[in-house]
Amino acid sequence: MPNLKELERWVGTTEAAKRIGYSRQGVINLAEDKKVRAVRTGAGWIYDPDDLDMFKARMKASKGG
């Protein structure tokens, strides 16, 4: 579980979707499937920006480019 200081840097669903080129629902699905590091809050999901960057890099590498 991330600490509060770390959570201050995390981003919401809209920003997460923009970062990795997914729809909002697609990013929520990734969080629910535990494919990206995220925490559900009372207002929705927040996402670890570093993990989103790593996810995007993994997806790019798996597509060969």
Q: Mean pLDDT for each 10-residue chunk of the chain (65 residues)?
A: 87 98 98 97 96 96 79
Domain containing 32 — which CATH number? 1.10.1660
Q: Is residue 65 part of a domain?
A: no
6's tokens: 């770390």
Reported residue count of the chain is 65
Nearest to 31 by CA among 42, 50, 16: 16
Between CA 63 and CA 25 the distance in angstroms is 22
pTM: 0.89
Assess contact for 14 and 25: CB atoms under 8 A. Answer: no
**Domains contained in the chain, number:** 1
pLDDT at res. 65: 58
Q: Which run of H or E residues covers position 53?
A: helix 49-62
pLDDT at res. 6: 86
